[in-house]
Amino acid sequence: MNRSNTLIIIVAVVVVVILGWWWLAAGDDTVVGEPEVVEEPADVDVVEEPADVEVVE
């Protein structure tokens, strides 16, 4: 009986470790203590419009 309980505990620990590793790998961008860096474009609207030039011939 003791050997069976030990085997169950070992299997449970292995499953918990694998699930924990998978959960941490899936949530890499939400690690506590590291600021989330989001690169956003600057708030500058670059619009190339034709110049107001009148061509006189």
pTM of the full structure: 0.41
The reply to whether 4 falls in a domain is yes
**Higher-pLDDT residue of 29, 20:** 20
How far apart CA 12 and CA 5 sit, in angstroms, is 11
The reply to whether 36 falls in a domain is no
How many independent structural domains does the chain possess?
A: 1
Structural domain of residue 18, as residue ranges? 1-25
The reply to whether 5 falls in a domain is yes
Residue-wise pLDDT tens digits, 16-26: 999 888 887 77
Nearest to 34 by CA among 43, 42, 24: 24
The reply to whether 13 falls in a domain is yes
The reply to whether 21 falls in a domain is yes
The reply to whether 17 falls in a domain is yes
How far apart CA 27 and CA 17 sit, in angstroms, is 15
pLDDT at 22: 82
